[in-house]
Amino acid sequence: MTDYPLGAVVQGSLSQGLEVRLHSDVSVEQMRVGKFLVVQGVRSRFFCLLTDVSLGTANPRILANPPSFQDTFMRDVLAGSATYGNVELAPMLMLIPTEEEDNNASQSDDTSLGSFQAQTNAEIELLPVKTIPTHFSQVYEASERDFRMVFGWEDDPTRRNFAIGKPLDMDVPICIDLDRFVERSNGVFGKSGTGKSFLTRLLISGIIRKQAAVNLMFDMHSEYGWEAMKEGKEVSTVKGLRQLFPGQVEIYTLDPESTKRRGVSDAQELYLSYDQIDIEDIRLVGHELGISEASLDNANILEAEYGKSWIMQLLNMTNEDIKLFCQEKQGHAGSIMSLQRKLMRLDNLKYLRTACPHNYINQVLESLDAGKHVVIEFGSQSNMLSYMLATNMITRRIHGSYVKKAERFLQTKSPSDRPRQLVITIEEAHRFLDSKIVHQTIFGTIAREMRKYFVTLLIVDQRPSGIDNEVMSQVGTRITCLLNDEKDIDAIFTGVSGGQNLRSVLAKLDSKQQALILGHAVPMPVVIRTRAYDQQFYAEIGETDWSQLPDEEVFAAAETARAELGF
């Protein structure tokens, strides 16, 4: 941290932010969008985000006749007075000290928020910004103590904090509060190739390590379970969650052959049956199958007549059977025949069976109830029809089970009846949460209502503009990598106060390992270099793999444990 001011506030407003003129000895090239700065007001201190950088002149004649690039003397004479640098700041948090803290701070040269006497996050109160500092308030670089004061630290015993990355220009961890993170639905956004899957693995690893919730992951491209390809010129892989947490993560597969070919030997098979498919599931994939609303209306007639076996009954009907059925039940023969042809495509899905003697979805629920984290792999069955159908079928039953558990807990108030907090991870989320179908799908219900039933979503998507605005407004924490499309950028800031100030920050992100985090799990928006997913991370986050340790280390660890237990 620098102990000298970088500039002074010259004008601004609460809605538009602050304009700061840099001092003559501070180069504008030191200022980067996304940088954190502290403004020392007369009474309060403000934690701010740098949103824009510009150049200014005291006299427009200078621009009409600029000095030669070789005339360094004249450029030095003009710098700081006739020419200067400006930065724009968005105040995010403010701290009003007590009288005792204020007296102590006034006797110190330390300008950081951390100079106050409080030692933990619980002892201070960072307030939303309701005012702005006075003219010519001095601006300083944020220190490590400031970051720890605002974002906490990973080893804080009072919170489940997880370090997700570091500021762009400092080596200090930025933590998110996992308890606040899992209690609402969240999103990881960014265009293709920006590292959304790696970021999602980081987040889920933190949730598992800190035991903040239990996870159900629909792994469309088989990237979360066992291992995944690492991006780059060299062909290499990174560990999946099963390798990091062998005793806590279970893998289920809808394509056992594909899973075995990738070297995963202990994955459990998962099959679904036709009688588990509801009309809601067909409606969700109606676009993929080309099914019209008229056909869906006739599907209701079939379901009313045949119950859960309506699809198998339909697929076994002849044209004469269909015509006879329509005469008796007032259906439309053409629509039902069209529905029959479209549903025949389901025969291509490897995981669908005419009947399943074993209820695999109940097996998944039992794993979740036991505190196991479940990854469901799709293998070669990763086309959108297959992914959307299976994901919706399984999630709908998870929803039903959790509603019953939550209602029982509300009745008994017994801690033993409290359901485990569940986070469901889905990819290509705009396919499930499009405004045309979101009110008819289980994912729309979860995004809007399921917080009270202890279920939330972690949505991973490259097209946030395709997600219904009402759902986006309910997304608690948004972790956003680089986006280029203006509609997608607008969607990220749906329902976010002061979002316009952050648009330039998002637009200036690098295409790799950088993200903007804002929302419920962090005190203020922050730009980070994401934490590396490498050997060091494995050592810090994962379980100990005793099979890979020398015998003497295993024995030493066992003796230490026995001593701690008093044996």
CATH number for position 367: 3.40.50.300
Average pLDDT value for residue range 373-390: 88
Domain boundary among 116, 151, 186: 151
Q: Report if residue 562 sits inside a domain.
A: no
What is the enclosing helix (H) or strand (E) of 538?
Answer: helix 535-541
Q: What is the total count of domains within the chain?
A: 3
pTM of the predicted model as reported, rounded to 2 decimal places: 0.83
Q: Output the CA torsion sign for 462, 466, 467, 473.
A: positive
- Reply yes or no on whether the pLDDT at 456 is more than 70: yes
How many whole angstroms separate alpha carbon 87 and alpha carbon 48?
11
Each residue's pLDDT tens digit, 341-356: 999 988 888 889 888 8
- Reply yes or no on whether the pLDDT at 118 is more than 60: no
Residues 222 and 303 placed together within one structural domain of the fold? no
Average pLDDT value for residue range 132-158: 89
Residues 368 and 507 placed together within one structural domain of the fold? yes
Host domain of residue 301? 275-348
Residues 403 and 534 placed together within one structural domain of the fold? yes
Residues 399 and 487 placed together within one structural domain of the fold? yes
Residues 128 and 209 placed together within one structural domain of the fold? no
Q: Report if residue 2 sits inside a domain.
A: no
- Reply yes or no on whether the pLDDT at 546 is more than 70: no
Each residue's pLDDT tens digit, 501-534: 788 888 888 888 899 999 899 988 889 999 988 8
Residues 448 and 510 placed together within one structural domain of the fold? yes
Residues 253 and 331 placed together within one structural domain of the fold? no
Taking phi over 0 as left and psi of -120 to 50 as alpha, with beta for the rest, 49 belongs to beta
Q: Which pLDDT score, from 0 to 100, does residue 364 have?
A: 92
Q: Report if residue 402 sits inside a domain.
A: yes
Q: Report if residue 161 sits inside a domain.
A: no
Residues 185 and 75 placed together within one structural domain of the fold? no
Residues 135 and 198 placed together within one structural domain of the fold? no
Q: Report if residue 270 sits inside a domain.
A: no
Residues 223 and 307 placed together within one structural domain of the fold? no
Which residues, including other chains, have CB under 8 Å from residue 436's CB and lie 6 or more apart? none
How many whole angstroms separate alpha carbon 378 and alpha carbon 219?
7
Average pLDDT value for residue range 454-483: 90
Specify the amino acid at residue 462.
Answer: Q
How many whole angstroms separate alpha carbon 329 and alpha carbon 317?
15
Q: Report if residue 555 sits inside a domain.
A: no
Residues 442 and 535 placed together within one structural domain of the fold? yes
Each residue's pLDDT tens digit, 361-373: 999 999 999 999 9
Each residue's pLDDT tens digit, 34-60: 888 999 998 888 999 998 999 888 777
Each residue's pLDDT tens digit, 205-264: 999 999 999 999 998 888 888 877 776 556 678 888 898 998 899 999 998 888 888 888
Contact, 487 vs 196, CB < 8 A?
no
Q: Report if residue 549 sits inside a domain.
A: no
Residues 60 and 133 placed together within one structural domain of the fold? yes
